[in-house]
């Protein structure tokens, strides 16, 4: 099979393992469609599990499913044996095993050299296993002390083993996400909740939304293939790059980051198409007249929203949306003590977990620390902007534009570390622009601790609300 695929792989400039993965990845769309035709709950769970196992085997080989079995077994065993502490146990065991695989395979180096392994799929699986255990743990808690997300997602009853395996390996999200909750998976499979359809509540057609996602994927890949030869990552340690003037180096960092993002847009668009065609991506009906089906559950990136983002604070709402939601619900919000506001510690801890989840490369760690600084600096600008009185509307507009320019600059500066991974290349690229993307956020954070504008006075009626 490898020999037969070699000419095709060579013609499009990728390795045979990557081509095999891409073919299986695209195959998740028809496989997800066929799920709709499977009758009955148990057959659907079996189909979800077996299709995920088969596509993993074809993509990465037999060992991939053994790797997936470890965190799945640890998570289910903790729910069976240690109900009261299963969330905590699964979180640390799941991340521990993932970190071990990151260290053993050093996947980032393999991906840069055109190889591929199952670590990316294991990353998605780890989040599913942990969220399932934490939600089962939440089932023991009193409802009045829970957040809205906890109330919605908590599990009172332990899922059966086949339900659990189907949830973990369901092929539509198995390779690249999006991450979703066990409760949503069960309701989707059983035809309950928003997936309960009858004559008065017909099943929405997924085909237009699926075609839109496929066209989006084709456009993203086309643009990426056009741009990537012009902005290679190797340029950051090229002596020619260092001879360029400052503004040209800064512009190259922007274009390198801009180019790399289209690869992720392509991947998430394919995942979006697979989740939509299966029906799982359905998230309800809009309030428009007539109502239209919404497929927000499948969306992992808002491309235009991210490229034109007004503030760094909004980035988690636009990029890798479902993982950002997972981090908010299972890390950020759970570190905030009752009655207190979240601060920089919660932000930094959340970004650190995200960095470890991606891998232990210095570039990842630096990028996510940079992200925490970037968001904290953007919050300072926003506080100043909100404090501007209505009589100085022009100043408010200037601060809004400054926040946008600041976000574009620091985001594309920071993401170089995420792309090149090594400490040497990361520091070389940052140093080539005099660490401007680190100096500005730190300066803003320090200024924010000195210049503390008064909060706008809220009307008495508003307070009473």
pLDDT for the residue numbered 19? 85
Query: What is d(CA 249, CA 443) in angstroms, rounded to the nearest whole number?
Result: 22
pLDDT tens digits for range 308-348: 999 999 999 999 999 999 999 999 999 988 778 888 889 88
Q: At 114, give phi and psi (nearest 5°).
A: 95, 10
Q: For residue 158, how far is the Cα from the chain centroid?
A: 27
Q: To 10 degrees, the CA torsion angle through 357, 360, 361, 367?
A: 50
Both tokens assigned to 84 = 């009261």
Residues 432, 249 contacting (CB under 8 angstroms): yes
Tell me, what DSSP letter sits at residue 330? Answer: I
Q: Are 282 and 295 in contact (CB under 8 A)?
A: yes
User: What is the helix (H) or strand (E) element at residue 284, kind and residue range?
Assistant: strand 284-285
Q: Are 351 and 331 in contact (CB under 8 A)?
A: no
Question: For residues 268 and 176, is the Cβ–Cβ distance under 8 A?
Answer: yes
DSSP code at position 139:
T
Instruction: Report how far apart, in Å, the C-alpha atoms of 44 and of each of 50, 175, 275, 443 are.
Output: 10, 19, 15, 55
Closest CA to 173 of 316, 359, 69, 28: 28
Q: What is the pLDDT of residue 109?
A: 62
Q: Residue 297 in contact with residue 188, Cβ under 8 Å?
A: no
Per-residue pLDDT, 462 = 40
Answer for the pair 149, 329: CB distance below 8 angstroms, yes or no.
Answer: yes
Q: Distance between the two ends of the chain, CA-based, in angstroms?
A: 67
Q: What is the pLDDT of residue 107?
A: 65
Give me the pLDDT at residue 171, please. Answer: 76
This prediction has a pTM of 0.91
Select which of 45, 174, 358, 424 is catalytic: 358
- Paired tokens of 123: 């990353």
Q: How far apart are CA 24 and CA 289, in angstroms?
A: 39
pLDDT at 198: 74
**Residue 358 annotated in active site:** yes
3-state secondary structure (DSSP) of residue 73: helix
Q: Give the 3-state secondary structure of residue 373.
A: helix
Which of 373, 366, 361 is CA-nearest to residue 410?
373
Pairwise CA distance, residues 372 & 368, whole Å: 6
Report the distance separating Cα 269 and Cα 223, nearest Å.
Answer: 14
Q: Per the structure block, which two tokens stand in for 86? A: 């299963």
pLDDT attached to residue 398: 94
Torsions phi, psi of 316, nearest 5?
-60, -20
pLDDT averaged per 10 residues in sequence order, the chain, 465 residues: 66 77 92 93 94 92 89 96 95 95 75 72 95 96 88 94 94 85 94 84 89 96 93 88 94 94 94 94 86 89 94 92 94 86 87 90 92 94 91 90 95 93 91 95 93 61 39
């Amino acid at each position: 099979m490898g020999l037969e695929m070699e000419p095709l792989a060579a013609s499009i400039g990728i390795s045979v393992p990557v081509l095999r993965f891409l073919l299986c990845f695209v195959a998740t769309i028809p496989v997800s469609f066929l799920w709709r035709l499977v009758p009955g709950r148990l057959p659907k769970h079996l189909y979800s599990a077996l299709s995920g196992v088969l596509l993993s085997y074809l993509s990465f080989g037999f060992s991939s499913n053994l790797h997936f079995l470890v965190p799945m077994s640890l998570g289910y065993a903790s729910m069976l044996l240690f109900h009261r502490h299963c969330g905590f146990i699964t979180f640390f065991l799941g991340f521990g095993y993932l970190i071990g695989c990151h260290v053993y395979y050093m996947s980032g180096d393999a991906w840069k050299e055109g190889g591929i392994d199952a670590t990316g799929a294991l990353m998605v699986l780890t989040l599913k296993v942990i969220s399932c255990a934490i939600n089962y743990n939440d089932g023991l808690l009193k409802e009045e002390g829970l957040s809205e997300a906890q109330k919605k997602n908590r599990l009172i009853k332990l899922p059966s083993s086949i339900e659990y395996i189907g949830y973990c390996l369901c092929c539509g999200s198995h390779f690249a996400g999006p991450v979703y909750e066990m409760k949503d998976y069960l309701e989707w499979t059983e035809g309950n909740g928003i997936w309960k359809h009858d004559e008065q509540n017909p099943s929405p057609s997924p085909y237009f939304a699926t075609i839109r996602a496929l066209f989006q994927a084709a456009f993203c890949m086309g643009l990426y293939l056009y741009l990537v030869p012009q902005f290679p990552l190797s340029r950051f340690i090229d002596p020619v790059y260092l001879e360029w003037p400052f503004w040209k180096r800064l512009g190259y960092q922007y274009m390198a980051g801009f180019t790399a993002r289209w690869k992720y847009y392509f991947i998430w668009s394919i995942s979006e198409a697979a989740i939509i065609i299966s029906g799982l991506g359905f998230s309800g009906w809009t309030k428009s007249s007539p109502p239209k089906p919404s497929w927000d559950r499948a969306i992992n990136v808002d491309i235009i929203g991210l490229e034109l983002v007004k503030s760094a604070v909004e980035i988690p709402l636009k990029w890798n949306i479902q993982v950002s939601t997972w981090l908010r619900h299972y890390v950020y919000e759970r570190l905030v003590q009752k009655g207190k506001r979240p601060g920089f510690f919660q932000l930094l801890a959340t970004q650190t977990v995200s960095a470890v989840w991606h891998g232990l490369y210095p570039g990842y760690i630096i990028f996510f620390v940079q992200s925490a600084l970037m968001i904290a600096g953007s919050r300072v600008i926003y506080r100043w902007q909100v404090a501007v009185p209505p009589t100085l509307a022009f100043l408010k507009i200037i601060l809004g534009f400054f926040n946008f320019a600041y976000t574009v600059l620091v985001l594309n500066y920071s993401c170089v570390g995420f792309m090149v991974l090594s400490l040497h290349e990361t520091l070389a690229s940052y140093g080539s622009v005099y660490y401007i993307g680190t100096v500005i956020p730190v300066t803003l954070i320090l200024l924010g601790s000195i210049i503390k504008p008064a909060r706008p006075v809220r009307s008495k009626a508003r307070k009473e609300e």
